[in-house]
Amino acid sequence: MRESACFLQYTYILHFPFFCSAALYPVNQDAVTADPKTREFLLRVVHVLLDFITKSNDRDEKVVDFYHPIELKKVLDLKLSEQPEPLGKLLEDCRQALKYQVKTGRKDR
């Protein structure tokens, strides 16, 4: 998946596919370990959102990449897991969910 130039400016030293929410605030109260992980995770979420906003305002992007709800069920994993998911999966789920949203940011619509 293409990521924005803004996202690529940051060097990430943490490996989010292996971290779960227990590594972040407020569950983990050890500031030495929780603070950098929490900050990095939230920065990644912000970059996912900024990429979506950028695409929403791009005249070359489709307004909607329409899929019938039954097709979306096949594409999106909407099941709740019994175990915590890795944070990397949460970020990917956010990207996937935003991919199928109606892009209403452009003023010409």
Could you read off the pLDDT of 83-106 as tens digits, one per residue?
A: 888 888 889 999 999 999 888 766
Q: Is residue 9 part of a domain?
A: yes
| Measured CA angle at 59 (ends 53, 64), to 5 deg | 70
* Domain assignment of residue 109, yes or no: no
The single residue listed with the structure tokens 């995770």 is 41
In-domain check, residue 108: no
User: What are the counts of helices (DSSP H) followed by strands (DSSP E) for the chain?
Assistant: 4, 0
Look up the domain containing 86 and give its range. Answer: 5-99
Q: In this predicted model, which residue has the larger pLDDT, 13 or 15?
A: 15
Q: Please give the model's pTM, rounded to 2 decimal places.
A: 0.74
Assigned domain for 107 exists: no
What are the tens digits of pLDDT across the range 19-53?
Answer: 788 888 888 888 888 888 888 899 999 999 999 99
Residues in the chain: 109
**83 occurs within a structural domain:** yes
CB 57 within 8 Å of CB 104: no
User: Does 16 map to a domain?
Assistant: yes
Domain annotation covers residue 95: yes
Chain CA centroid to CA 78, Å: 15
Total domains in the fold of the chain: 1
Whether 40 is covered by a domain: the verdict is yes
pLDDT-derived band at 8, boundaries 50, 70, 90: very low
